[in-house]
Chains A and B, each alone.
Chain A
Amino acid sequence: MDTFIQLTIDAVTLGSVYALIALGYTLVYGVLKLLNFAHGDVFMVGTFIGYGVLQELGGSSSPKLSVWLIIPIITLAAMGGCALLGITIERFAYRPLRDAPRIAPLISALGVSFFLENSMQLLFGATPRNYNAFNFGNGYLYLKGFQIHGVTVPLLRIVTVVSAFVLMVALWFLVNKTRTGKAMRATSFDREAAAMMGIDIDRVIVFTFVLGSALAGAAGVIFALRVPTTVNIGFVIGLKGFIAAVIGGIGSIPGAMAGGLLLGFAESYVQGYISTQWSDLYVFSGLILLMIFRHQGLLGRPDIRKV
């Protein structure tokens, strides 16, 4: 029972990170019909921005501010930095290719991903960066918390999961209840028709990249508070977030959230009960099967081919 609770806690934390990344993929796919392979590397840059700002503020062992200020500050910094990066990528690597054959922006995205990863490697080397979140107030974030059946749910987990869900709710509100959100939905439904209705497509696309990349930045900090980060996590974590988006049905926002959580649960339980080593094997083979038999995902709409 203890293991089960522990694994469930892990699953929710991991799942919320995946969900945040998946949202970025889904948003961009919805609007541009582009698989943004560089998204995982935007996430990685986010973890590094958070680390850099944290060090500027004194690091976790001798912070200059209260923990409750530092975590929001590094999260916001990572979100802002990633949003800027997202805008840049869209403007210079994707916008020139908007009317090119579908394969062109995909390959450009691969190039961007490769470029980002190696640029970070060039500047910051391959050493892992650890936020050492345990040091905040001598283990305050880890030791405090509440108990379920004798298992402690640390404060850190609660904070990260709650903030991830707050971000998701905010996104849902933004997309469904605001004018900009309506413009995004219209663009994703039919870009040309939306343009004819007077929607500024460029603005909508830039806004989408800002949203997606900011979420990736937040996910980066949430992730790196628990796990040390390196320059090459972008590929694998990005792939996982991408899988989450695909499970839920790429292009669907609730799908991405559900897919992220589902993937978190699947991975956590497989690692806990079956095998740590082979969890990727199960996840990826399951995914390939899912893709073959229901490639629109669980909540996605089947695409209709019009001739």
Chain B
Amino acid sequence: MTDSTPHGYHSTAAEGPAIGQDEWVARHADAVVLPGILGVAERRLRRLPWWVWLVLFLAAFSIFPVVESSGYVRLVAFDTVLYMLLALGLNVVVGWGGLLDLGYVVFYGFGAYAYALLDSPHYGIHLTTIASVPLIVVMGAVVGLLLGLPSWRLTGDYLAIVTLFALQLFQTITTNWQHVTGGPFGILNVDPFDLPGGHQLAVQHGGIFAVSYLYVALAFFAVVFVALRMVNNSRTGRAWRSLREDPLAAEAMGMPVNWLKLMSFSFGAAVAAFTGTLFAAQSANVFPLSFYFVALITIYTMVILGGSGNQAGVVLGALIIGPLLEALRSADKSRYLFFITLVLGLLFAWRRSRALGVVAVATLGFGFAVHAIAGAIHSDWVAGEHTGGFAGFVDHWVVAPAHLARWLSPVSYVGVIVAALVLTLLRGRVRLVLLVPTLYLAAFVWENVMLSKPDAARYIVLGVILIVLMILRPSGLLGERRVEIV
């Protein structure tokens, strides 16, 4: 219990790989126990088998639609489950196989398009779900094998390039092969899933999202999670890990390296194709742009945020990023999110320092001062939109001009980025002092520039998460700290 570090936690972030240290030793050093009753609770919880957590998680998710009756929220939950599935699939390739596959979305798109072609008026084929979904999963696995073939000869960067080309190729084909894929107009009126009796599972009930799809997706998720977990604990899973850690050594030990790569590709592809069918059946239309760079980056952010290589981690990543992206669509929610993140960020950064309080109070004061000065100079400067409640408070704190000058948004946006970057270079008191105006400027930009264009803003947030994560905590929230053995 009495550890050498005073607060019971090692700061493991931002240290980079420890060179020359054994992985087991590293993990052991991290196993610090919380003191007192929390420690007991933590150890008890840790001892619970994994399936208890899974069941609890699924139960919580299943109860969710009972509590929440809004069709929109249920639809977001459904999309999040889709993301969870995709993240699980990508985790097989990137997290376990250690192969950087930038064409992963192709398989997702393949599944969706295949389902759309097999079950829609487009060709008049209406295959029953029991036949089409397994067929598409198998086809997806085969496509995965084919796209994985270059990995026999190419490693690392080159594999990333080829898979990126594949992504572009898929996009070219789906947008241009009009009489098969419908081109940019996509395929419309895709059938919903049907039950063996010929009964169709309606996508909507009375105009809102039918909750049955959420349960179908959850069932898919449970099956995929357990199946992949079993694969990972098998000989194949162990072989994948050895491949990831050192392909050359694995080959020297007689592992069939090429087959392992193909297998990880096709497992990932099968899961993605599976998810694609679900997506197509629920959304009823498929368009090429759903399966492009944006989707790719979103899934990658989930996997990396959660911790690639850790199943629970990538699910957590999807659970965070999916709803986050959705919340950033609406001005109200993203306003809340911004200020909550700000406060949490301050708390996290200065857990043990009184400077936090000073900075927070100073920022508040600074804001009111700036607001008062701006208001005194010209009332137009603070005449931006007024909304009640919490946002009303924000209106009295952040300067919101009635008309934003054309130069103001680029200048303030670039200004806040430059200020944030400069802050990372500074240390000590100067940093704290400069933090105050930077925070205020950030709030100004968020209120005046970002909120009006949620579509760009939410992807900016995604990009920033990706960069910051790679620098501060490449192993993600739950990932294992990778130790590089030299």
Contact = CB atoms under 8 A, between A and B. Distances in A.
Interface of A: 33, 35, 88, 91-93, 96-97, 99-108, 110-119, 121-124, 235-236, 239, 242-243, 246, 277-278, 280-281, 284-285, 287-288, 291-292, 295, 305, 307
Interface string B455-486: 11101101111110011001000000010100
B48 to A, nearest CB: 32
A288 B148 CA distance: 12
Contact of B169 (A93, A112, A284): A284
Contacts of A96: 471
Interface stretch (B157-165, B340-348, B388-396): B157-165
B357 interface: no
Contact of B248 (A235, A239, A307): A307
Contacts of B465: 111
Given A92-B421, A106-B100, A287-B165, A123 B409 contact: yes
Contact of B300 (A93, A100, A107, A124): A107
Contacts of A123: 409-410, 413, 449
B361 interface: no
Contact of B17 (A101, A117, A122, A242): A101
Contact of A122 (B157, B424, B456, B484): B456
Q: Is the interface of B mostly helix, strand, loop or mixed?
A: helix
A99 B482 CA distance: 13
B100 A103 contact: yes
B16 interface: yes
B431 interface: no
Interface in B151-201: 153-154, 156-158, 160-162, 164-166, 168-169, 172-173, 176
B293 interface: yes
A18 B344 CA distance: 45
B153 to A, nearest CB: 6
B450 interface: yes
Contact of B172 (A117, A122, A280): A280
A108 B466 contact: yes
Nearest to A112: B467
Given A108-B467, A115-B464, 7 more contacts: A93-B467, A111-B470, A113-B463, A122-B460, A124-B410, A280-B168, A288-B150
B157 A35 contact: yes
A86 to B, nearest CB: 14
A249 to B, nearest CB: 12
A110 B300 contact: yes
A292 B162 contact: yes
A293 to B, nearest CB: 8
B463 A295 contact: no
Given A122-B413, A291-B158, A100 B16 contact: yes
Closest CB pairs A-B (n = 5): A111-B466, A115-B463, A122-B456, A114-B463, A111-B467
Contacts of A99: 16-17
A49 B471 CA distance: 29
Residue from A99, A111, A124 with most neighbouring chain B CB atoms (10 Å): A111
A250 to B, nearest CB: 8
Given A122-B453, A284-B169, A285-B169, A104 B463 contact: no
Given A107-B470, A111-B466, A288-B162, A281 B460 contact: no
Contact of B456 (A110, A118, A291): A118
A31 to B, nearest CB: 14
B463 A288 contact: no
A156 to B, nearest CB: 29
Nearest to B99: A103
B360 interface: no
Given A100-B16, A114-B459, A284-B172, A295 B484 contact: no
B325 interface: no
A295 B154 contact: yes
A104 B308 CA distance: 12
Nearest to A37: B164
Contact of A104 (B153, B157, B470): B470
Contact of A114 (B157, B455, B466, B482): B466
